[in-house]
């Protein structure tokens, strides 16, 4: 089933009187439960494409359907509601609140959900997510008391707490050592496999991209290559 569908998507930025085209007619589909990597050099358009796919921005022209809904014309407030319901983000720099416990960091998105959970319910769900990523014994630790890999696990738990259907990981191993990077990427594979979670890795690193089932390479605002793989992360999936 096509979970994501882009048709002839263009994005142009206005810099004074100058128009700068960044995406130039991108069309692609992604099935529900896929794990793909968006790759490309700096300035290729991959981050702009992620922003559109993640409903952080909208295209200048073209259509974007997410889970059957045309989201391309949505205003900022409508996109924010959609992100809260369906999309999770994990970033290179973790983006955790410094003087806040792991539990409170993970529970934070629940304050904006339509489910209107009580504080007790929110903390219980946040605890379950931290246990899911192997940090059940670090609930009250602040980010400064955690290693880089543990901070990224907290960020993953926070991204999952609203049960999204789509997870973006934007250069998720950029601040991690090689051993911890493998652990985090294998966690994304496991979430994809066990939860049928659609995962999109955004990276310029070939080694990271190889954890995905499919690699979409962006160059000069267009899709240059779209490759399917039978393996991920150096092992059979």
Chunk the chain into consecutive blocks of 10 residues (it has 237) and report each block's average pLDDT, rounded to whole numbers: 93 94 98 97 95 97 97 95 94 94 96 82 96 96 97 97 96 94 97 96 96 97 92 43
The domain spans of the chain are 33-57+76-236
Tally of CB atoms within 10 A around 122: 22
Tally of CB atoms within 10 A around 18: 7
Architecture label for domain 33-57+76-236: 3-Layer(aba) Sandwich (3.40)
Residues 149, 180: contact at Cβ < 8 Å? yes
pLDDT tens figures, 26-79 = 999 999 999 999 999 999 999 999 999 999 999 999 999 999 999 999 999 999
Residues 196, 209: contact at Cβ < 8 Å? no
């Amino acid at each position: 089933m096509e979970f994501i569908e882009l048709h002839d998507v263009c994005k142009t930025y206005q810099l004074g009187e100058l128009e700068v085209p960044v995406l130039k007619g991108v069309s692609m589909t992604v099935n529900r439960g896929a794990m793909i990597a968006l790759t490309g050099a700096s300035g290729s358009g991959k981050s702009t494409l992620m922003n559109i796919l993640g409903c952080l921005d909208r295209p200048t022209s073209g259509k974007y359907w997410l889970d059957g809904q045309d989201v391309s014309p949505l205003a900022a407030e409508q996109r924010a509601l959609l992100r809260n319901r369906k999309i999770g983000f994990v970033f290179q720099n973790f983006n955790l609140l410094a003087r806040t416990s792991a539990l409170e960091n993970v529970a934070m998105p629940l304050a904006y959900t339509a489910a209107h959970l009580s504080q007790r319910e929110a903390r219980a769900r946040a605890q379950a997510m931290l246990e899911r990523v192997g940090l059940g014994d670090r609930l009250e630790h602040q980010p400064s008391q955690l290693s880089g890999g543990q901070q990224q696990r907290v960020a993953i738990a926070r991204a999952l707490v609203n049960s999204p259907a789509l997870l973006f990981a934007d250069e998720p191993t950029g601040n991690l050592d090689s051993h911890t990077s493998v652990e985090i990427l294998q966690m994304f594979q496991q979430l994809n496999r066990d939860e049928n979670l659609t995962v999109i890795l955004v990276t310029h690193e070939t080694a990271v991209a190889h954890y995905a089932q499919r690699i979409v390479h962006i160059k000069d605002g267009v899709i240059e290559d779209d490759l399917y793989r039978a393996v991920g992360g150096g092992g059979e999936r």
